[in-house]
Structure 1
């Protein structure tokens, strides 16, 4: 089965979030075809958490918790994703602010 290009998944996430009343900001663009996706999720600007699209225990694409368990402030969040980008310039970094952000992202790009 062909894998959907990362740029297509990011575009779908942006459209879906905006349609659902959320906001999305591309913090860093990665490889349009095969780059990874790191999500910084927020709910009404609070409760920041990182997730990334990866392979789950069942071998299917899924959303996996990533990064620090507690993020003290915006500066700490920015420092984390910038360190990740230093090691992987193909990585997309997306900020998603929407109700039930983790569930929304998993349903939109988790097993796409």
Structure 2
């Protein structure tokens, strides 16, 4: 039996976490309800966008990893392109004051 939390519950928790820290969160694309991956776009008032995706590690764990920086124009398309490649993927946009700080408090 898989001990992972169903993705839709994890997405709801991420949304509540953003709101609890004075931010907002919106689902841009829904993926598989139970086993989808999650891609988070953090923005600070429309500036400094940063994508985070949980990647498998050599020790078997999964940690949130920053997707290499791109131009602002490409950020708008990146999430939708990833969702088209992986229909199970959830894409969430989170508006927070400090994206790296938010990433640090995300559950693993």
What range describes the TM-score normalised by the shorter chain of this pair?
Answer: 0.7 to 0.9
**SS of aligned partner of 1:24:** strand
What does residue range 1-112 of structure 1 map to in structure 2 within 5 Å? 2-66=3-67, 68-73=68-73, 76-109=74-107, 111=108
- TM-score, normalized by length of structure 2? 0.86
- TM-score, normalized by length of structure 1? 0.83
> RMSD across aligned C-alpha pairs, in angstroms?
1.7
Report the CA distance shift for 1:106/1:9 in structure 2 as closer, same or farther (over 3 A): farther
Residue 45 of structure 1, CA deviation: 2.1
Structure 2 residue runs of 5 or longer lacking an equivalent are none
Structure 1 residue runs of 5 or longer lacking an equivalent are none
The count of corresponding residues between Structure 1 and Structure 2 is: 107
After TM superposition, where is structure 1 displaced by more than 6 Å over at least 4 residues in a row?
none
